[in-house]
Amino acid sequence: MDLEDRIAIQDLIADYAYFWDERDPERWASLFTPDGVLEIYVPGVRPPVRRVTNLGERITSAREAFVTQATRRTRIYSTSIRFDELTEDRALVRTVILVVEVSDTREGAIRPLYSGTSSDQFRKTPVGWRFAKREIHSDQNPGFGNAQDFDSPADAASD
């Protein structure tokens, strides 16, 4: 395993969180291969509640999420990165994820939205490592049901 490859993949995982939190759909979408897939799973719901399979869909999906959640600021924390396989041109990696809502007010501070894991397949391309597939598995169903976007859980407290 090449240390430079491990660092590049860890940077890619960090960029995924930063670009989403910064609401930059083009840069976020560019982290995937052109045929890269994003799938989001919640307990008790199959197939995935969200499946995005190409660059155009990724950009559109992200833009829609940012409009829908215009007042919500999130932070994605990616920890416990585990390399299950790393070859010259392919990597399989698992990561623990925590997503929180960050309030601009002192009273609101931070509110956990959901936690889970990602199972990632990376492919080395001419421009560097990219996500070939990212499966996000939420630990709980925070109201997504058949939601169209992972960043828009229903507010269970309002029920």
Would the pTM count as exceeding 0.85? Answer: no
- Mean of pLDDT over the chain: 83
Tell me the domains of the chain and their CATH numbers. 3-145 (3.10.450.50)
Q: Which of 48, 135, 149 is nearest to 94 (CA)?
A: 135
pLDDT at 50: 83
What per-residue confidence (pLDDT) applies to 46?
83
Length of the chain: 159
Q: Give start and end residues of each alpha helix (H) in 1-155.
A: 3-21, 25-29, 55-68
Q: Euclidean distance between the first and final Cα of the chain, in Å?
A: 50
Q: What is the pLDDT of residue 45?
A: 84
Give the confidence band of 70 by pLDDT, cuts at 50, 70, 90: low
Q: Are 40 and 49 in contact (CB under 8 A)?
A: yes
Instruction: Give the pair of three-digit tokens for residue 62.
Output: 């992200």
